[in-house]
A and B are shown apart, each in its own frame.
Chain A
Amino acid sequence: MASGSSTQSLVISKQRKDENESEKVDGKSDGESSYCSSDDLEPEWLDDIQKNGELFYLELSEGEEELALTRATNHQVSTNHVRFSDKEAEVITDQRKKKCNGSRTKGTATLKKLAKMLRRKHRSALRKDVPASILKNQPGQYQGGTVQKQLKEVCVYLNPKRLSASSVPLFEDGGLLEALLGVIHRPSWDSEGMRQEDKLTVHGLVPNSPAAKCGDILIGDVLVAVDDVDVNSENIERVLSCIPGPTQVRLTLETLIPLNRARADDAFEARRMKSSPPVSQLVRLLWGDDTAELQMSIEHIPHIVMYLSLKLDSASPQDEEEILYQYPASEASRQLKGVRGIFLTLCDMLENVTGGQILSSSLLLGKQLVHVGYWKENNNLLVIGLPAERVPLLYLQTVLGDVVRTLKMMYNSLDSAFLVADHAPRLDHFFCLFFQQLIQPSRLTEGHAAPPQDASGTLFLDGLPAVRWLTLPPEIKMEVDTLLSDFESSDFGEMSEDYFGLRRMYVILGSCLFYKSYLIANHLPKEDLLDISLYCQHYLLLPLSWEQRVGQLVVWREVFPQQRATAAPGFNTPQGRYFLLIVGLRHFLQCVLLEAGGCASPAVGCPGPDSVYVDQVKATLLQLEELEGGIEERLSAPAAPCLSCADWFLPSSSSTRDRLDSLASSSPVLSKLVKGSHSSGHRGRNLFGEKSRKPSPQRSLSDSGSEGLDGGFGMSRNRGLSPHSTPDSGRRLGTRRDSLGSGGSEGSGGSTLLFKSPRMKHPNPFYLGTLKKTLTEKETEEMYNTMKLSSGAENSLFHFLLMDSVRGVFIAPSHRDVSQLSGSIHPQLIRNFHHCCLSIRDAFRQSLPAKARRASSRPQRTGWGLGPVKEHGVLFQCKPQNWTDQKKPAPTMTYWVIGRMLLEPVPQEFYVCFHDSVPEVPVEMAFRLSFGLDL
C-alpha cells in the first residue's frame, strides 16, 4: 500500500539508491554500512506511511526487547517448565535473525512496530505480554478420570478493537473465541443435533493469534475460566464480548501433565504472577494501543476540549451541530459539554461589555474547580476545560497557547485542523496525549528509571519558551556541530544536486539534536526550534529517548512553522512547503526541517519521507554514536555548579553525615563540598535565627549598612560598600557582556573580581560551535573545581534554572544530578521550586515585551498593578516529615527561591533555589550562572 500512495519522488529516490549503493557505503562511515547492509530492501517503515505522506514509526531497540525477553526467560528457567523453554529459545533466535538481516519480519511478537497512532490498519501482530505461566496443583474439583489433571493460568493480551478494524474473515463458527483469542473449539453434536459437550476443549489454534503466540495453550487443554469467571461453551461468547478494550486477561486452563511435574510449588509460582509489562505506558500510549484504558483512569476528573462554531444556523435545528470537534466522549466531559451554551454566550457577549476577548472562566462542578480557556479563531471557538488542581489559572493561558501553537504548526490553522473529518482520530490521539500529560504525568513514566515528574514541574518546564540544553565539553561540541553542519550542507553523495543533475528535492533549513531529551546542538532559528520542541514534547519523544533506547524512530510530516508561515515576504518564498523529519536512534533524536519549493523542486501532493534523507540522518546519528561515550561522561560528571541536597542541612540524623562521607569518598568534587559543609555544619544549625548568624565577609558588608535602627542608611554609602549588588547592576551587566562578547577572552572587563570561574562566552548563539576554542584539560579541571555558585565555605545552592530567551534554551541540573542528591526532602524542595517558579514566571510574564511571548498573538495588557517585575523571591521553610521526637521541636530549614528577569542586553530569566544561611545576592548568582556556565 505504501508504494501505491508514495509519490514520484520516492520512486526516484529508490532508483538512485539502487544505482549507487556501493558509493554510498564508501562515502559514509562503516557504521552505516553495517546498519544498512541490505540496501535493496525496503526500509521497515515503508508500510506505515499514510496516504497524506505522514509517518510515525517507532520500534524499540534490541536492548529494550531483550530486557523484556530476559525477564521472560528467567521466569521460564526458574520454573522448570521444560515444555515451554524450547519455545522461548525459538523466539530468541527469531529475534536475532530479524535484527541481523534487518528485514521486516511481520508478526513477530516482540517486534514492536505498531505505530498505529494515526490509523488502525490491520496488523496481525498482536502484542502479548510476558507469558506468566503458572502451574497450580489443584487435584480437587477439576480432577477426573485416571490421568491427573492440572490447572494452569495463562495471560494473554486481547484487543477487541483490532478485531473490528481488521479484515480477518469472520470466523463464523468459532465466534469471538476464535476471532479474538484464536482458540478453535468444535463442539461435538449428539444425534439430535444438540450441543453435547459443555467443556471448552482446545481443538486447534489460529496462527498468529494471541493464544498461539503465547505458547502456553496447548491443543487438548480445556479452558475453564477467563479472569476467574468460569466459562463453558454456553457463556464463553458472552464473557469475551464483555471485554471492553485492549486488556490483558488471565485464562485458566485444565491440562494433562505427567505426574512428576505436578509438584509445583504454589506459593513460589504465585509470586511470579505479577510480571511487569515489557513495554512502558509511555510507549503504549504513543502506539495508540491503550488509550481507552488510560482515558478510563481519568474518567472522574472533568476535562474537555471542544471546537465550537459561533455561527449558528437556526434554520437547521440539528442537535449538537455547533460542536465541530469534541474529546473525550466520556463521562468526564459530559457536564462540561452540557454547558457549552455558556461558553458560546460569554464569548459572544463579553467582548462588547468589557472590550476584550474572553480568555478564561472558572466553574465549580460540584466540589471540583475547573478552569476553562478560550481561543477564538475566525468564527470558531476552541474551548479547553482543565481541573484547577492540575493547571492553576496562572498558567492556563500558557498551556492553551502551547496547544494552539502545536496544532497550528501541524495543521497550519485551527480550522484546517478541526474541520477536516479525517483528522478526528488523530486529534483524538493528540488530545489523549495532552490530557494524560497534564492530568496524570506520573502514570506515563511508571516503573521506569526516568525521574518522576511532578505536575508543577512538567507544567513549568514544558511551558517555558525554551528547550533543555546540555552543555558539552568543547571538543565534543565541536565534533557534534561539525557532523550536523556536514549533514546540513547536503552537498555530498546522493544529496548533492550535481549527482543526478536534478534539482534537489528538499533544502535542509537546519536541524537540532537531542540526546536523552537534552538539546545538545541546534542549527535552527529559535522559533523553529520552539515549534519542533513543542511537537516533540507533545508526542513525548523527549522522555522516550531519555528512558528507552529507541530502536528506530522515523517521523515525517508536513509542518507549518509559525514564524515562516506568518513572516513578511523576503527570503522565503510563500509557496515553499516545510517538512519535519525526526529520526531517533538509541538515545539520539535528530529533528530536521526541510523546505520544498524555493531553491529545491516544489513538492507535489503529499510526499512521503524520502529514504535518502532518512538514511543520511541515520548515518549522521550513527557517526554521533561514537561520541556517546563523551556525552554520557558529561552527563554522569558531577554537576557544575555543585549542588547541595536539602537533607544535608537538616540535622535530623547522624546517618546523613555518614552517607555523605561515603559519597564523598567516591567523588573528589563532592568531597570538597562535604568538607565545606563539615566545617560549617554546626553553624548551619544555628543559622535559623538571623541574629546568631556568623557573618560571611559579604554579609558583614550588608549588615553594616542595615544594622542600627535609627541609622538611616544612605544608599550611596551602601553602594560604595558592596558594588556588586546594587540594584542597577542590570546596566552594568550589559557593558560587561559586550566587552566579553567582543573579545571572547577570559576574564575581561575585570570580572575576575566577582567571579571565581570566569569563562569565555560566545556572543553569537548560532553556528559558532565549531569556532569555539578548545580549552586545555587543565583549564577544564580548574573550572569544575571552582564551579561553586554560592559564596562562603558552604555550598548552599540547591537548584537552578537559567533560560536564554533569545536562543530558546535553558539549563538546569540534569536528572542525574538531581537523582544523585537523593534524599527525602530534596524532591519535595524541587517540586516546591517548580511550583514557585510558576508564580514567579507569571509575575514576569506581565512585563515581558509582547514579541517575547511564546504563545500569544492576541493583544495583551501593557501594565500590571505592580508594574513590570524584575525580581521576585520567596522564602520557604521546611520541616522533616514524621518528626517523632515530642520533646524537641522539629528542626527547620529555610531556603529562598528567587527569580530574576533581565531584559537587557539579552532577555534572560534565572531561577535559583538556595539555602538561607548565606544571604546570596541573587544578582551575583545570576551573573555567575550566565557567565560561569558554558551556555
Chain B
Amino acid sequence: MMLQEGPVQLLCLTANSGVPLFTRGSSKQLPFSVMGSLNGVHMFGAGQGISLLSCDTGGGGKVVWKVFKDSLMLIAVSAGQRSQSSHTEEEVYLQRLLENVWGCMVLVLGQDELVTVRNVERLKRDLRACFSLIDLLLEERHQGIMGNLTHCADSLLPPNPALLQETVAGFAQAADSEYGCLVIHGRIAATTEKWSHLMPQEVVLLLALMQTLSKSGSSSCDYPVFLPQGSPTVALRLLRFQLLPGANVCVLCGPTPSLQRAESDLRQCWSPVVDSLRDTLAVGERCLPSSVSVRQDVLSLMLINRDTHRSVSCVQALSNQPDSSLPSRARCWELLKVFYIFSTTRYFHQESSSPEEQSQSSSGDFVQGFSHQPLQCYLVTEECKCYGLQTDQHQLFLLFPLSVPTYVLRSVANQTLSHLVASTGF
C-alpha cells in the first residue's frame, strides 16, 4: 500500500501531455509510474470516447478523475480506512474537492494561464502560489466550515445585523466598491447587497482565501483575484483589513483606491461599531446570537437557505457533564457533513449543482429515480439520530442524542426550523 493514512492525495497534470504539475496531500508521494498509469488510463479512455469518472476499491479507497477546460487534469486518491465513509459519501467529497481546487487555481492565477499552457516549468512555479490555499482545502475535513462541501457560504448571525450591514455598505462605498463583506471567524456576518450576486462557490473560495491571508498575521493586504465564474480572465483586487482578531472586512475593487486610502477610511467607518463587533465575535462558533435559543437536545444543526446560498451551522456545547455516550464536537461536525452528503446524494436536491453536474457524478442518477418527492428523512445510528428536512426555501439538518425518542424528531425539527426562521429571518 503506497498511500499512508492521511489526507487525500491530489495530483495535477496537464491533460494532453500528462506532465505532472504538482502533487499535494499525503506526505509520501505516489511513485511516478503510478501517477503515469492513473493519468494513462484516463487518457486511453478519452481516446475511445469514454471518460473515466471514478473508481472504488475495497476498504473505502477511492480515485476520482476530472479534466478542467481540456487543459488540466486533477486526480484525487483517497486510501480509505482513514475516513470511514462509504463510497458515495467519499466520492461527493472528492468531487467537491477537485472543483474547489480548480476554482482556487483560477482564483489565484486566472483562467488564461491555466488553459493555454505555454511554458510548463513556469506554470509549475506559478502554481506554488495556490499551495497554501489547496492545503487548507485538503485539511479542511474536521473544521467547522461546511461551505467547501455545500457550496453555501457559512454565515454567522450577528445580534444586530442591520447596524453591521450599514457599516459594511458605508465602508464599501468609501472604497469605491460594490462588493464588501464582514467576516467573523471565517464566516460571513454582513455583506453589501451586491455581494450576494457572486457565485456561491466564489464566495466560499474567497472566504478560504481570506483565512489563509489572515494567517499571515498582517493587518491588511491587497491581493489580486480572478473570480472563477464572474471574471475568470480579468483580475480584481481583494482588499482585506483586520478589524479585531477574528474579525476581518474585505472589499473587491478595481484599480482604485489604493490600499492606504482605503485603510484611512477604515477607522472612521468601524470605530463606532466596535462594541457590536465584539458582541458578534462573542457569538463564536455557535453562529447564532444568544437571543435565539435552540433546544438543548439538538447536538448540532445546519440550516441552509436555498435562495441566498448561505448556511448556518453549529455544534452546541452541552451544558451538562461531558457524556461519554455522546459524540465529541469534532465527531459531530463530521457526522453533520456525512449526513449532509448522505441526504443530498440520495434524496434532496443538492444546492448549486446543475442537473448536468449531478448526472455526471456516479450517484446523481439515484435521486432522479424517485417518482415522488422526498421531503424529510431520518437516520438512527449507534451514535446519534439525524434528521433532515427540505422545504422550498430551506434545508435543515439536525443531530440528536440517542435518548431523544424517534417519534418526536419530526416535530422538533419542524419547530426548530420555524423558530429559527422567525427569530432570525435567515
Contact of B86 among A364, A712, A865 (CB under 8 A): A865
Q: Does A872 contact B (CB under 8 A)?
A: yes
Segment touching B, from A23-31, A653-661, A759-767, A830-838: A830-838
Minimum CB distance partner of A711 in chain B: B295
Q: Which of B226-250 contact A (CB under 8 A)?
A: none
Segment touching A, from B17-25, B207-215, B375-383: B375-383
Write out the residue numbers on chain A whose beta carbons fall within 8 Å of the beta carbon of B338: 865-866
Write out the residue numbers on chain A whose beta carbons fall within 8 Å of the beta carbon of B380: 727, 869-872
B30 and A353 contacting across the interface, CB-CB below 8 Å = yes
Q: Which of B384-426 contact A (CB under 8 A)?
A: 385-386, 389, 402-408, 410-412, 414-415, 419
Q: Does B335 contact A (CB under 8 A)?
A: yes
- Complex-state Cα separation, A352 to B405, whole angstroms: 46
Taking each of B293, B363, B380, which has the highest tally of chain A beta carbons within 10 Å of its own beta carbon?
B380
A345 and B3 contacting across the interface, CB-CB below 8 Å = no
Contact of B365 among A338, A350, A388, A894 (CB under 8 A): A388
A354 and B79 contacting across the interface, CB-CB below 8 Å = yes
- Complex-state Cα separation, A690 to B406, whole angstroms: 17
What total of chain B residues lie within 8 Å of the partner, measured CB to CB?
A: 87
Q: Does A12 contact B (CB under 8 A)?
A: no
A861 and B84 contacting across the interface, CB-CB below 8 Å = yes
Q: Does B102 contact A (CB under 8 A)?
A: no
A335 and B50 contacting across the interface, CB-CB below 8 Å = yes
- Complex-state Cα separation, A788 to B84, whole angstroms: 41
Write out the residue numbers on chain B whose beta carbons fall within 8 Å of the beta carbon of A330: none
A354 and B62 contacting across the interface, CB-CB below 8 Å = yes
- Known contacts A832-B372, A866-B339: does B366 contact A392 (CB below 8 Å)? yes
A876 and B374 contacting across the interface, CB-CB below 8 Å = yes
Segment touching A, from B52-60, B112-120, B161-169, B274-282: B52-60
- Known contacts A353-B61, A864-B85, A874-B376: does B44 contact A869 (CB below 8 Å)? no
Minimum CB distance partner of B41 in chain A: A342
- Complex-state Cα separation, A868 to B338, whole angstroms: 13
- Known contacts A355-B79, A865-B89: does B375 contact A346 (CB below 8 Å)? no
Write out the residue numbers on chain B whose beta carbons fall within 8 Å of the beta carbon of A719: 405
Q: Which of A853-878 contact B (CB under 8 A)?
A: 858-878
A355 and B1 contacting across the interface, CB-CB below 8 Å = yes
A846 and B86 contacting across the interface, CB-CB below 8 Å = yes
Minimum CB distance partner of B410 in chain A: A919
B408 and A356 contacting across the interface, CB-CB below 8 Å = no
Contact of A878 among B30, B89, B372 (CB under 8 A): B372
Write out the residue numbers on chain A whose beta carbons fall within 8 Å of the beta carbon of B58: 356-359, 858-861
Write out the residue numbers on chain A whose beta carbons fall within 8 Å of the beta carbon of B53: 361-364, 369
Contact of B84 among A358, A371, A865 (CB under 8 A): A865
Write out the residue numbers on chain A whose beta carbons fall within 8 Å of the beta carbon of B2: 352-353
Interface of A is mostly: mixed
A710 and B34 contacting across the interface, CB-CB below 8 Å = no
Write out the residue numbers on chain A whose beta carbons fall within 8 Å of the beta carbon of B255: none
Q: Does A843 contact B (CB under 8 A)?
A: yes
Contact of A702 among B57, B61, B405 (CB under 8 A): B405
B406 and A727 contacting across the interface, CB-CB below 8 Å = yes
Write out the residue numbers on chain A whose beta carbons fall within 8 Å of the beta carbon of B44: 339, 341-342
Write out the residue numbers on chain B whose beta carbons fall within 8 Å of the beta carbon of A871: 378-380, 406
- Complex-state Cα separation, A706 to B48, whole angstroms: 59
Minimum CB distance partner of B40 in chain A: A345
B3 and A392 contacting across the interface, CB-CB below 8 Å = no
Minimum CB distance partner of A353 in chain B: B2
Contact of A354 among B48, B50, B63, B403 (CB under 8 A): B63
A875 and B374 contacting across the interface, CB-CB below 8 Å = yes
Q: Does B192 contact A (CB under 8 A)?
A: no
- Known contacts A361-B54, A706-B408: does B41 contact A355 (CB below 8 Å)? no
B407 and A725 contacting across the interface, CB-CB below 8 Å = yes
B34 and A718 contacting across the interface, CB-CB below 8 Å = no
Write out the residue numbers on chain A whose beta carbons fall within 8 Å of the beta carbon of B371: 828-829, 831-832, 835, 878
| Bitwise interface map of B from 1 to 15 toward A, beta carbon under 8 Å scored 1, else 0 | 111000000000000
Q: Which of B356-375 contact A (CB under 8 A)?
A: 359-360, 362-363, 365-366, 369-375
Contact of A338 among B48, B86, B373 (CB under 8 A): B48
Q: Does A705 contact B (CB under 8 A)?
A: yes
A872 and B378 contacting across the interface, CB-CB below 8 Å = yes
B377 and A872 contacting across the interface, CB-CB below 8 Å = yes
A870 and B382 contacting across the interface, CB-CB below 8 Å = yes
Write out the residue numbers on chain B whose beta carbons fall within 8 Å of the beta carbon of A838: 366
Q: Does B80 contact A (CB under 8 A)?
A: yes
- Closest Cβ of chain B to A771, distance in Å, is 37
- Complex-state Cα separation, A28 to B412, whole angstroms: 67
Write out the residue numbers on chain B whose beta carbons fall within 8 Å of the beta carbon of A335: 48-50
Write out the residue numbers on chain B whose beta carbons fall within 8 Å of the beta carbon of A388: 362, 365
B375 and A369 contacting across the interface, CB-CB below 8 Å = no
Q: Does B346 contact A (CB under 8 A)?
A: yes
Write out the residue numbers on chain A whose beta carbons fall within 8 Å of the beta carbon of B55: 346, 350, 358, 360-362
Write out the residue numbers on chain B whose beta carbons fall within 8 Å of the beta carbon of A293: none
Q: Does B143 contact A (CB under 8 A)?
A: no
- Closest Cβ of chain A to B232, distance in Å, is 25
B80 and A363 contacting across the interface, CB-CB below 8 Å = no
Contact of B61 among A356, A456, A858, A868 (CB under 8 A): A356
B297 and A868 contacting across the interface, CB-CB below 8 Å = no
| Bitwise interface map of A from 578 to 598 toward B, beta carbon under 8 Å scored 1, else 0 | 000000000000000000000
- Complex-state Cα separation, A904 to B17, whole angstroms: 57
B403 and A715 contacting across the interface, CB-CB below 8 Å = yes
- Closest Cβ of chain B to A911, distance in Å, is 14
Q: Does B38 contact A (CB under 8 A)?
A: yes
- Known contacts A335-B50, A342-B45: does B88 contact A394 (CB below 8 Å)? yes
Write out the residue numbers on chain B whose beta carbons fall within 8 Å of the beta carbon of A866: 335, 338-339, 342, 379, 381, 383, 386
| Bitwise interface map of A from 159 to 185 toward B, beta carbon under 8 Å scored 1, else 0 | 000000000000000000000000000
Contact of B362 among A350, A362, A715, A877 (CB under 8 A): A362
Write out the residue numbers on chain B whose beta carbons fall within 8 Å of the beta carbon of A722: 405, 407
- Complex-state Cα separation, A393 to B361, whole angstroms: 11
Q: Does B290 contact A (CB under 8 A)?
A: no
Write out the residue numbers on chain A whose beta carbons fall within 8 Å of the beta carbon of B79: 353-355
A356 and B59 contacting across the interface, CB-CB below 8 Å = yes
Q: Does B77 contact A (CB under 8 A)?
A: yes
Q: Does A148 contact B (CB under 8 A)?
A: no
Write out the residue numbers on chain A whose beta carbons fall within 8 Å of the beta carbon of B377: 872-875
Q: Does A351 contact B (CB under 8 A)?
A: yes
Q: Does B51 contact A (CB under 8 A)?
A: yes
B56 and A361 contacting across the interface, CB-CB below 8 Å = yes
Q: Does A814 contact B (CB under 8 A)?
A: no
A363 and B405 contacting across the interface, CB-CB below 8 Å = no
Q: Does A921 contact B (CB under 8 A)?
A: yes
- Complex-state Cα separation, A713 to B377, whole angstroms: 22
- Closest Cβ of chain A to B246, distance in Å, is 30
Minimum CB distance partner of B419 in chain A: A709
Contact of B378 among A360, A394, A873 (CB under 8 A): A873
> What residues of chain A have their CB less than 8 Å away from a CB belonging to chain B?
335-336, 338-339, 341-342, 345-346, 349-366, 369, 371, 388-389, 392-394, 456, 690, 702-703, 705-707, 709-710, 712-713, 715, 718-719, 722, 725-727, 828-829, 831-832, 835-836, 838-839, 843, 846-847, 858-878, 894, 919, 921-923
Show 25 residue pairs from A and B whose CB-CB distance is below 8 angstroms, ordered by the A residue.
A335-B50, A342-B52, A345-B40, A351-B57, A352-B2, A354-B1, A354-B80, A355-B57, A356-B57, A356-B61, A361-B53, A369-B362, A392-B365, A392-B366, A393-B87, A705-B405, A712-B297, A836-B370, A838-B366, A861-B84, A865-B342, A866-B342, A866-B381, A871-B406, A876-B374
> What residues of chain B have their CB less than 8 Å away from a CB belonging to chain A?
1-3, 30, 34, 37-38, 40-41, 44-45, 48-63, 77-81, 83-89, 293, 295-297, 334-335, 338-339, 342, 346-347, 359-360, 362-363, 365-366, 369-383, 385-386, 389, 402-408, 410-412, 414-415, 419
For the complex with contacts A870-B380, A875-B376, A877-B375, 4 further pairs of A-B residues with Cβ separation under 8 Å are A359-B58, A865-B84, A876-B372, A877-B373
7 pairs of A and B residues whose beta carbons are closest in the complex: A354-B61, A865-B85, A356-B58, A356-B59, A355-B1, A865-B338, A362-B362
